[in-house]
Structure 1
Amino acid sequence: MKSQIVPKIHFDYDRTNINSDTLVSLYRAMLKPRLIEEKMMILLRQGKISKWFSGIGQEAISVGVASVLNSNEYILPMHRNLGVFTTREIPLYRLFSQWQGKANGFTNGRDRSFHFGTQEFNIVGMISHLGPQFGVADGIALANQLKKNDHVCAVFTGEGGTSEGDIHEALNVASVWQLPVLFCIENNGYGLSTPTSEQYNCEHLADRGKGYGMESHIIEGNNILEVYSKLKELVSDMRKNPRPVLLEFKTFRMRGHEEASGTKYVPTELIDFWGEKDPLINFEKYLISEELLSEEMIEAFTNAIKQEIDENLEKAFEEPTIEADLTKELNDVYSSFKYQEVAHTNDVENIRLIDAISEGLKLSMRKHDNLVIMGQDVAEYGGVFKITEGFVEEFGKERVRNTPICESAIVSAAMGLSINGFKAVMEMQFADFVTSGFNPIINYLAKSHYRWNQKADVVIRMPCGAGVGAGPFHSQTNEAWFTHTPGLKVVYPAFPYDAKGLLATAIEDPNPVLFFEHKALYRSIRQDVPKEYYTLPIGKAATLREGDAITIISYGAGIHWAIETLDTLPDVKADLIDLRTLSPLDTETIFASVSKTGKAIILQEDSLFGGIASDISALISEHCFEKLDAPVMRVASIETPIPFAAALESQYLPKNKFKEALINLLAY
């Protein structure tokens, strides 16, 4: 890069306590991403890469943050933070392979740009939904607190991202829990084409820190020494006095949101103004004035970096393109988990479903000292269903944590705990409330292993179901929302014995598990359950009754409705299959039974259309068609929200129409 001369240096550089070697090192650290970006834009025009999000003009922020944090401290960057990746010294050919969708990248061609993370370099990349990243940083910081390692983590977003609710939730959680996180807002003027005047109505985003009870600072983001010095001071103090800090970096996006969008919507005078505040050129001129840099040194640095770029590009270009491998793709959706059976003795106690879940959770807390429970009112109060009552006394408030009412941030925090070596169980107070945490479940937990080989060691407990007169917002059984999402496991026990063993396995499993618990069964179903810790396999159904007349398939409360019905029909000899796990689904048991009986009826509490019964019906039709003696029958709730009044709720549920459907199918 040829040195450019600006009329004057636009910043007051204060080099107090910064030695000359560090000053030059910071210059080289900014020069490298600038030269890479210039090369990428050439390759973009040549059609050799598909997309580029430029951070030109913002290098001081990325480099400053990455230079201050230790290499073993996590950084959660965005797509304009190339300087984070280069300062962490990720080999360039791996970055280039990532951008070209090749195997030496970090996502095996499954994602592009900076949508990746790497534990090797303690970087957790973004997802396009932006907001959950702050909550993930909360979880990483919480893990650091629990480890007592005095680490700080840093997370980035733009001023546009601060409009997302996840951001507000995460800032509040960090403040309440006093988590050592640097929340870095790069205020670069535009969210795609929307200017800041249309994004928020306050003078400075840093002013919001007051509302969260959080320390905040405004930093000139184009002044590398201000960034470096201020962050060095803050991080040093945060390690001694852990707390969150909100930072607003004033900067500007000199290129389009991505190169294809251009900058026609930006006034020319604004681009010219910020062009004169270029962080690299101004610092270069300053170092020349301080006689720490010369034209010869600039040329040498530039040539060395360009050579490194060219050599690594050649290596990346020579790498073969990824070929589709169906087995590999399917196998990489989930983190590897080898089920280990933990057997039990016959020392049992007769307990309710709710007791079995509580005991299973308690024994898992004893077994895994890195397990953290989070949820609304789960600590001293014991949760609204009292499942964690007494847990604080045994495990302490660090591991049994009340949360603010912010499902999305806590799901994200659970993901952060997993990234930083912990297990997490989150209680959705009611399964209905999962809608407020849907984004990170679907887009973060479910996809992280497939995208960049990162496990999501998280169990989300889902108290669900009707039959208790709780109305539309506390009665849904919404499992079908999640069985549709590859990367999630869905468990739905109907009996205390199954609930305790499956919960233990779910917590052992490094993959995200949605664990459904039917509220109407909590205190109405009892069973002899082993007292000690034991496991049961996820993905294996249970055949509760055997017969050759018909196959009945259900789960949750539906199983008990089916049992009640069969008890009134003693002459009906049926296979009764309790699925127990909905994803993965035990199709082997289903197909074997249907092939024997020739008839199948599926009972679910969820509404009919789009429920899991539809998929099971289709699977049976596809795989057992020649064995069928009748159409596959589905019985489910009516197509309305769940009502409150007893008569309406009874009409809604399929319990009272199952018997008639069963008899009609038997007579077909």
Structure 2
Amino acid sequence: MQFKKKKYSDQVLKDLYEGILRPRMIEEKMLILLRQNRISKWFSGIGQEAIAVGLTMALENDEYILPMHRNLGVFTSRKLPFDRLFAQWQGTMMGYTKGRDRSFHFGTNEHHIVGMISHLGPQNGVADGIALASKISGEKKVTAVFNGDGGTSQGDFHEAINVAAVWNLPVIFIVENNGYGLSTPSSEQFKCKSFADKGIGYGIKAVSIDGNNILEVYDTIKTLAADMRKNPAPVLVEAVTFRMRGHEEASGTKYVPQELMDEWAKKDPLQNYEDFLVKEGVIDAKYIDSLRKKIKKDIEEGLAVAFEETHPVASTEVETTDVYAPFEQVVVAPASDKKSEKRFIDALSDGLRQSMEKHDNLILMGQDIAEYGGVFKITDGFVKQFGKDRVRNTPLCEAAIVGTSLGLSIKGKKAMVEMQFADFVTEGFNQIINNLAKTHWRWGQKADVVVRMPTGAGTAAGPFHSQSNEAWFFHTPGLKIVYPSTPYDAKGLICAALEDPNPVMYFEHKVMYRSISEMVPDDYYTIEIGKAKVVQEGEEVSIITYGMGVHWAMEIAKEFPETSVEIIDLRTLLPWDKEAVVASVKKTGRAIILHEDCLTGGIGGEIAAYLSENCFEHLDAPIMREGSLDTPVPFAPTLEQNFLPKARFKEKLAKLIAF
């Protein structure tokens, strides 16, 4: 291993030595504690420390790094307090996640670190968002994101690099090529011999370095970062290294040939660098002994504090309260009485435009939303008013863009992501469910993101452009779901959703876009999220519905003139307005829930269960519900109308009234 001192002072060389020694000594201690059953799990980075330490020390302290579970050197180099770091591993309140997540699954804006989730690839899109925010703000900062070689097979990795390349984002995508993805060797993971070769495919610069040579890592990253701050563009860095212990300690290393272990043991990044510094006269045995004693003392003091804590005392109130970022909505009324007739699509566009004017940190992203104005023309003209930085066409990569939205939020921006059709959200499902929804509960980071979802059937568009998929998200704590049924609500709820610092899934029915009009305030205003609306007062039966169901209910209710029907428009599905629904059912004694989504597993089942548990003594008939058939959405108009619940709802309503 050849170390090139170059222009670096002895102090820099010493700092790098201390930087690489700290994680090694912590790991050695953790392995002892693991055998003593005093910690529960450990992912060892022994043999790979030079990458994390060299990169972190090469970057500026306010530049974000997104590490993984073998990058202890990132955390120690950013000088996280040992007691709090150790407490995090123990799952106690002093840690960064209040005991809710483990190891390095956390972030800390104080130290400009965003930890991983277990899915390995999603952090790449988040890095794009952080870099995009820095670039838009003119900060001239670099973002670095770690990947294992196995994780590079995931779509998130490829999507994020492509976005960074297209948008010229200053992101260092570092790949720790350590030969194995858990136990699967590289030969069974990918065909390429070098990750640097992949740079051509992405249209970006790529380099391969010796990941065990801390001076090479440090110098390469420092040089690349200096250039990227002036000339923003992504770089792929392959750091060739080896994992000397199991994927985690319980895995062992029996699958690794012994000769390979012996070969890489000779390339130990700490021992080789230490030998080099001694040879160069930069340090000596006395210095090494003194430094080791100092670090050992720091470790023991940190452990003493961390081990004083016990696991958190569970509080249901605290756990549920922390699911959402704190936000007390102040409903905004229109500044004047001025109104004009607006179609649903016009009201939605108006609210989005006025929100862009109100929030200068709001970024819109989606396929074809810029000059083209989106496939439904909702953002038509926005580029001319707000510019390309804030109204951004995206590649076809929903996962990366949703991840980017979280990265923007970490940097204090607001983001709106338009799914061209709600059906396409499956491509970004992991980011929504496991990143956006959980990030505040996990480590207190808000996800100030709205995902717009053009939804619903009725246009003979077939099974992949017509689905009602709100129930997929209804089951996910941390998300909010709104679903307007009128132009007035469309504008008020999009403005409210964009004010809210929590992730909001905003469903908009495509059939309503140009088929429904009403008088809508021209001024900016909001509607309370979580508040249902009584569309029609009644005394004998309650219809609980939302979206297109509201219009079906109003139409069909007219066919029962002898019955006093109350119609409740939920408007917000998560959290849904239990008080309004219960009050209506207690008044009428009969309830039927209607939604366009398939019947089985739909939101109606949850509402029916809640009413059965809380209103049983007030009911004069069974709770009923109706939804679409439990089939995919068919293409032919005759089949589609049979799929939809409107006709069946009329029959079931008649049955309920007659009970």
Deviations 1:208-240 (A, max 9, x none): 111000000001000011011111111111111
How far apart are the structure 1 equivalents of 2:219 and 2:310? 44
* Corresponding letter in the other structure for 1:291: G
The residue that corresponds to 1:397 in the other structure is: 388
How far apart are the structure 2 equivalents of 1:68 and 1:104? 29
Deviations 1:69-101 (A, max 9, x none): 111110000001000000000000011000000
Moved more, 338-347 or 255-264: 338-347
* Structure 1 residues 401-416: aligned runs within 5 Å: 401-416=392-407
2:439 to 431, 448, 460: 448
* Corresponding letter in the other structure for 1:556: G
CA RMSD of aligned residues (A): 0.6
Residue 527 of structure 1 deviates from its aligned partner by: 1.1
The residue that corresponds to 1:586 in the other structure is: 577
Is 1:485 equivalent to 2:476 in the alignment?
Answer: yes
The residue that corresponds to 1:247 in the other structure is: 237
The residue that corresponds to 1:6 in the other structure is: none
* Structure 1 residues 56-67: aligned runs within 5 Å: 56-67=46-57
How far apart are the structure 2 equivalents of 1:198 and 1:450? 37
* Corresponding letter in the other structure for 1:61: I
How far apart are the structure 1 equivalents of 2:513 and 2:559? 24
1:285 to 254, 257, 275: 275
The residue that corresponds to 2:107 in the other structure is: 117
Deviations 1:615-634 (A, max 9, x none): 00000000000101111001
* Structure 1 residues 498-647: aligned runs within 5 Å: 498-647=489-638
Percent of paired sites with the same residue: 61
The residue that corresponds to 1:97 in the other structure is: 87
* Corresponding letter in the other structure for 1:635: E
* Structure 1 residues 309-388: aligned runs within 5 Å: 309-344=299-334, 345-388=336-379
The residue that corresponds to 2:140 in the other structure is: 150
1:187 to 157, 177, 180: 177
Residue 12 of structure 1 deviates from its aligned partner by: 1.0
Is 1:461 equivalent to 2:452 in the alignment?
Answer: yes
The residue that corresponds to 1:475 in the other structure is: 466
How far apart are the structure 1 equivalents of 2:429 and 2:227? 36
How far apart are the structure 1 equivalents of 2:154 and 2:435? 16
The residue that corresponds to 2:214 in the other structure is: 224
Residue 433 of structure 1 deviates from its aligned partner by: 0.3
How far apart are the structure 1 equivalents of 2:448 and 2:585? 35
How far apart are the structure 2 equivalents of 1:661 and 1:475? 24
Residue 293 of structure 1 deviates from its aligned partner by: 1.1
1:164 to 115, 140, 154: 154
Count how many residue pairs are aligned between Structure 1 and Structure 2. 658
1:257 to 247, 256, 267: 247
1:419 to 410, 425, 433: 410
The residue that corresponds to 2:16 in the other structure is: 26
Provide the secondary structure at the position in 1 that maps to 2:307: helix
* Corresponding letter in the other structure for 1:375: G
The residue that corresponds to 1:45 in the other structure is: 35
Provide the secondary structure at the position in 1 that maps to 2:495: helix
The residue that corresponds to 2:265 in the other structure is: 275
Residue 164 of structure 1 deviates from its aligned partner by: 0.1
Is 1:439 equivalent to 2:427 in the alignment?
Answer: no
Provide the secondary structure at the position in 2 that maps to 1:318: coil
The residue that corresponds to 1:7 in the other structure is: none
Is 1:15 equivalent to 2:5 in the alignment?
Answer: yes
Deviations 1:348-402 (A, max 9, x none): 1111111111000000000000000000000000000000000000000110000
Structure 1 moving runs of 4+ over 4 Å: none
How far apart are the structure 1 equivalents of 2:658 and 2:559? 17
The residue that corresponds to 2:124 in the other structure is: 134
The residue that corresponds to 2:639 in the other structure is: 648
Provide the secondary structure at the position in 2 that maps to 1:37: helix
The residue that corresponds to 1:3 in the other structure is: none
Instruction: Give me the TM-score of the superposition, normalised by structure 1.
Output: 0.98
How far apart are the structure 1 equivalents of 2:647 and 2:459? 16
Deviations 1:135-172 (A, max 9, x none): 00000000001110000010001000000011000010
Residue 204 of structure 1 deviates from its aligned partner by: 0.6
Provide the secondary structure at the position in 2 that maps to 1:249: strand
How far apart are the structure 1 equivalents of 2:343 and 2:558? 22
How far apart are the structure 1 equivalents of 2:295 and 2:408? 37
How far apart are the structure 2 equivalents of 1:655 and 1:207? 57
Provide the secondary structure at the position in 2 that maps to 1:575: strand
* Structure 1 residues 189-208: aligned runs within 5 Å: 189-208=179-198
Provide the secondary structure at the position in 2 that maps to 1:588: helix
* Corresponding letter in the other structure for 1:476: Q
Deviations 1:326-348 (A, max 9, x none): 10000000001110111113211
How far apart are the structure 1 equivalents of 2:647 and 2:586? 28
Residue 546 of structure 1 deviates from its aligned partner by: 0.9
Residue 657 of structure 1 deviates from its aligned partner by: 1.7
* Corresponding letter in the other structure for 2:42: W
* Structure 1 residues 66-105: aligned runs within 5 Å: 66-105=56-95
Residue 571 of structure 1 deviates from its aligned partner by: 2.1
How far apart are the structure 1 equivalents of 2:586 and 2:33? 58
1:495 to 486, 500, 503: 486
Deviations 1:538-585 (A, max 9, x none): 000000111111000100001000011112222221110000000001
Deviations 1:27-60 (A, max 9, x none): 0110000000000001111111100000001111
Unaligned runs of 5+ in 1: 1-10
1:664 to 646, 655, 658: 655
Unaligned runs of 5+ in 2: none
How far apart are the structure 2 equivalents of 1:553 and 1:222? 63
* Corresponding letter in the other structure for 2:507: F
* Corresponding letter in the other structure for 2:379: T
* Corresponding letter in the other structure for 1:19: S
* Corresponding letter in the other structure for 1:421: G
Provide the secondary structure at the position in 1 that maps to 2:107: coil
Deviations 1:505-556 (A, max 9, x none): 1001010000000001111111110001001110000001111110001000
Is 1:215 equivalent to 2:199 in the alignment?
Answer: no
The residue that corresponds to 1:8 in the other structure is: none
Provide the secondary structure at the position in 1 that maps to 2:29: helix
How far apart are the structure 2 equivalents of 1:382 and 1:198? 44
